[in-house]
Structure formats: structure tokens, C-alpha cells
Amino acid sequence: MAEPVLGNPQNTIEVLKKYNFTFQKKYGQNFLIDTHVLDKIIRVAGIRKEDFVLEIGPGIGTMTQYLAQAAGKVAAVEIDKALIPILEDTLSEYNNVKIIQADVLKLDIQKMLEEERWERPFKVVANLPYYITTPIIMGLFEMHVPIESITVMVQKEVAERMQAGPGTKDYGALSLAVQYYARPYIAANVPPNCFMPRPKVGSAVICLRRHEEPPVRVEDEALMFRIIRASFNQRRKTLANGLNNAPDLDIPKEVIIESIRKIGKEAGVRGETLTLEEFAELSNYICKQM
């Protein structure tokens, strides 16, 4: 199997020139050009020969080459049709890679796993465009497919929000949603000069290891997430007012106040101080009274 060559900036430039490729702003394309970062991602994701890896947004195949060397099978899902002929070229020597032109949020991942005759959990690796990071990560978790872990390059601020705990400025609905499904940890900070073109912000590699079972028991998952979103939509409001004013929650004010008291909190508490366990408890009390 060929050695990866695309982590080298010169080789990346040659491929882009050969195909006269222009970066598409709408896809938020920033290609990695740092071999140390690429090696670190493979290491952090724990890729081994017995793994099936779903790569989202392979670009010109830089990380795909590294993944193909380390994993058993790789499915590289790319939304930009203009990149498919480039990927077919740069990955031609790797017989364990399947290139799929698709929007990953519309892809039937379960069907793809069946076609590949893969029955074990798989790993996701991605260098995600910043504008679509949250929909993709949450979309993958909500598909309820057997993901073992998601290792992604994201905007540094977003990585910090995913890992944040109660009472901090970064803590919010994203922190709680990610932590309900997985255990996040930031593995590396990555400066803008590791990409082509350079993004305006710093990036981070974050690994989300999927919980075998959610850490809290909740009667109605969808209700809990609506409560969480409403709690953070208006951060300056008290939790009771946030829930009372939420357009997609029809909960009587007395039920809200009674449920907040049941979890041992005062009526004037703010949502940003509650843990995931407390949100689950609150949601369960509300659920019983609806």
C-alpha cells in the first residue's frame, strides 16, 4: 500500500493545480497540510486494522490516505462533486477505500454498513466545515447507528463548548447534548497555518467516545432536549421564565415551578447552573405531570 503523500503542502498544491480546483466557500473547505496533526488524529482516534472508518469531508484525500494505511476499511463521504475525480486519483492505490458522493446527513449509514457486511461498531473521523459541525455531530448521534467514537477537527470555540461543565461561559445546549451521547475530550489545538487556505480562527481535535448507555435515565429524550434548549435560549432569564416563554413547550407555570423545587432548586435558578443529571430529573418530573 502506498505511503501517504498529501500531508506535504507542495504535493497538495500540485494536486489542486493539476485539477484546476477552486475552493468552495459554501462548503467551508480548509485542507490539512500538517503531517504531525494527521498522525495525531489517527493516534487519538485509535484507528486499527480491524476498524471500519467513516470519513466525512475527505477533500482531496489527505487524511483518507492516512486512514487507509491504519484501518481495515474506509468509506469517504464527500458532498462536493468536483472533488470526486481528484479522490479517485489520489486514492487509486488504496484498495480498502470506498468513495461516496453524498451529503452525510442524507446518507443511509445503516444500509451502507449492511452493504459492507459490517456488524461491529465503527469510528467516524472528520475535518468538519465550521458552519455545519453541530448538525453533523448531532445528526450522527441521533441516527442511532453503532458509532464507537467520533474524532473531529472543529473550531476551537466549538470544541470548548462541547467539553464545558455547568456554570461556565461555554456551557450550553451543545455541551449537554454531546455529553448525553459521549465523553468528550480535546486532544490537540491546531493553529490556522496547518490548513490551506488558512481559516480565520483556531481549530481543535476533539474525540467523542460514545457511552454504551446514556449516563442518565430519561422518560422522554425529545422533551429533555426541548427543555435544555429553552433554558439556554434566553440565558439572562431564570429557568422558570425560560421554560414558561418557550414557544415549543406548553407547560403550565405551576408545573414548572413545582418541578424545579422537586429537584431541590429555588424558583430563581438559572438553567446554566444545572447538570445533565438535574435536567434529566427535571424533565422526568415534568413528563409525569403532563
Q: Are residues 179 and 247 in the same domain?
A: no
Q: Are residues 258 and 165 in the same domain?
A: no
Q: Is the dihedral of CA 40, 41, 46, 49 positive or negative?
A: negative
Q: Are residues 60 and 172 in the same domain?
A: yes
Q: How many domains does the chain have?
A: 2
Report yes or no on 184 lying in a domain.
yes
Instruction: State the pLDDT at residue 169.
Output: 92
Boundary residue ending a domain (180, 210, 240): 210
Report yes or no on 84 lying in a domain.
yes
Task: List, edge to edge, every strand of the sheet that includes 203-210.
Answer: 97-101, 73-78, 52-56, 122-127, 147-155, 203-210, 182-190
Q: Are residues 144 and 193 in the same domain?
A: yes
Q: Are residues 276 and 151 in the same domain?
A: no
Boundary residue ending a domain (152, 177, 210): 210
Distance between CA atoms of residues 62 and 38, nearest Å: 8
Q: Are residues 166 and 145 in the same domain?
A: yes
> Domain residues for 253?
221-289
Instruction: State the pLDDT at residue 147.
Output: 97
| Alpha-carbon distance values, 135 to 112, 216, 219 (Å) | 20, 23, 24
Q: Are residues 69 and 171 in the same domain?
A: yes
For residue 264, the domain's CATH number is 1.10.8.100
Distance between CA atoms of residues 262 and 265, nearest Å: 7
Q: Are residues 206 and 225 in the same domain?
A: no
Instruction: State the pLDDT at residue 25.
Output: 67
For residue 23, the domain's CATH number is 3.40.50.150
Instruction: State the pLDDT at residue 149.
Output: 98
Report yes or no on 261 lying in a domain.
yes
Boundary residue ending a domain (167, 189, 210): 210
Tens digits of pLDDT across the chain (290 residues): 767 778 778 888 898 889 888 776 666 778 888 999 999 999 999 999 999 999 999 999 999 999 999 999 999 999 989 999 999 999 999 999 999 999 999 999 999 999 999 999 999 999 887 788 999 999 999 998 999 999 999 999 999 999 999 999 999 999 999 999 999 999 999 999 999 888 889 999 999 999 999 999 999 999 999 999 999 987 778 999 999 999 989 999 999 999 999 999 998 999 999 999 999 999 999 998 87
Report yes or no on 2 lying in a domain.
no
Q: Are residues 237 and 172 in the same domain?
A: no
Contacts of 284 (CB under 8 A, 6+ apart): 217, 218, 219
Distance between CA atoms of residues 248 and 240, nearest Å: 15
Report yes or no on 1 lying in a domain.
no
Q: Are residues 158 and 281 in the same domain?
A: no
Report yes or no on 3 lying in a domain.
no
Q: Are residues 205 and 263 in the same domain?
A: no
